[in-house]
Amino acid sequence: MKTPNFETGIEILGRSQADAKFTANNENVKITYSVDKKIKGSYKKFCEEHGLKVVIFGTGNYGSMAFHALKDIGRKVDYFCDNNKHNWGKYWKGCKIISPAELKKYSDAIVIIASLHFQYMRKQLNKMGISRIYDCDFLLYNLDLTEVKAFAPIGKLSAMRDLYMYAINEEKHLLKIKTLDVVVTERCSLRCLNCSNLMQYYKKPRDCSINLLLNSLNKFMQNVDELYEARVLGGEPFIYKELPLVIKRLASYDNCSKIIIFTNGTIVPKDVSYLKDKKVSVMISDYGTLSRNKVSLMKLLEKMKIPFVLEKVDIWQDCAKIKYRKRSKDKLKQIFGNCCVYDVLTLLHGKLYRCPFAAHAENLEAISTEEHIDLIEETQLKDKIRNLSSCKDFIQACQYCNGRDFNVGSVQAAEQLSDRGVLC
CATH number for 126: 3.40.50.720
Structure confidence at residue 64 as a pLDDT band (50, 70, 90)? very high
User: Which of 128, 124, 123 is CA-nearest to residue 108?
Assistant: 128
Rounded Cα distance, 367 and 388, in Å: 18
In this structure, the answer to whether residues 142 and 190 fall within a common structural domain is no
In this structure, the answer to whether residues 142 and 251 fall within a common structural domain is no
Three-state DSSP class for residue 131: coil
Structure confidence at residue 171 as a pLDDT band (50, 70, 90)? low
In this structure, the answer to whether residues 264 and 362 fall within a common structural domain is yes
Written as one string, the DSSP assignment of 338-403 is: T-TTTTEEEEETTEEESSHHHHHHHHTTS-----EEETTT-S-HHHHHHHHHT--S--GGGGTS--
- The whole-number pLDDT of residue 11 equals 27
| Span 137-147, average pLDDT | 91
Which residues lie across from 192 on neighbouring strands? 416
- The whole-number pLDDT of residue 182 equals 98
417, 193 in Cβ contact below 8 A? yes
- Find the domain containing 117 and state its range: 11-156
Task: Report the CATH number at residue 264.
Answer: 3.20.20.70
Q: Is the pLDDT of residue 25 over 80?
A: no
232, 256 in Cβ contact below 8 A? no
Note whether residue 169 is domain-resident: no
Rounded Cα distance, 313 and 303, in Å: 25
Structure confidence at residue 217 as a pLDDT band (50, 70, 90)? very high
Q: Are strands 110-113 and 133-135 parallel, antiparallel or unpaired?
A: parallel
- The whole-number pLDDT of residue 36 equals 66
> Which of 20-34, 180-194, 257-271, 390-404 has the weakest average pLDDT?
20-34
Structure confidence at residue 73 as a pLDDT band (50, 70, 90)? very high
- The whole-number pLDDT of residue 32 equals 42
CB atoms within 10 A of CB 153: 18
Note whether residue 32 is domain-resident: yes
Cα-flanking dihedrals φ and ψ of residue 245, to 5°? -65, -40
Q: Is the pLDDT of residue 247 over 80?
A: yes
Select, from the ranges 18-32, 118-132, 227-241, the one with the highest average predicted confidence (pLDDT). 227-241
Note whether residue 165 is domain-resident: no
- The whole-number pLDDT of residue 334 equals 87
| Span 197-213, average pLDDT | 97
In this structure, the answer to whether residues 242 and 351 fall within a common structural domain is yes
Taking only Cα atoms into account, the Rg of the chain, rounded to an integer number of angstroms, comes to 21
Rounded percentage of the chain residues whose pLDDT exceeds 70: 89
> Which among 156, 185, 216 is the end of a domain?
156
Rounded Cα distance, 154 and 250, in Å: 25
Q: Is the pLDDT of residue 9 over 70?
A: no
What's the burial of 215, exposed, middle or buried (CB within 10 Å: 0-12/13-18/19+)?
middle
Q: Is the pLDDT of residue 18 over 60?
A: no
Q: Is the pLDDT of residue 17 over 50?
A: no
Note whether residue 161 is domain-resident: no
Per-chain mean pLDDT for the chain: 88
Tell me how many domains the chain contains.
2
- The whole-number pLDDT of residue 105 equals 93
- The whole-number pLDDT of residue 362 equals 97
Rounded Cα distance, 127 and 167, in Å: 23
Which has the higher per-residue pLDDT, 27 or 398?
398
CA angle 39, 84, 94 (to 5 degrees): 70
The per-residue pLDDT for range 269-325, each reduced to its tens digit, is 999 999 999 999 999 999 999 999 999 999 999 999 999 999 999 999 999 999 999
Which has the higher per-residue pLDDT, 15 or 220?
220
- The whole-number pLDDT of residue 169 equals 76
pTM assigned to the model: 0.78
The per-residue pLDDT for range 313-362, each reduced to its tens digit, is 999 999 999 999 999 999 999 899 889 888 899 999 999 999 999 999 99
Note whether residue 420 is domain-resident: no
> Which among 122, 156, 190 is the end of a domain?
156
Strands in 38-190 per DSSP E: 54-57, 79-81, 91-92, 95-98, 110-113, 133-135, 176-183
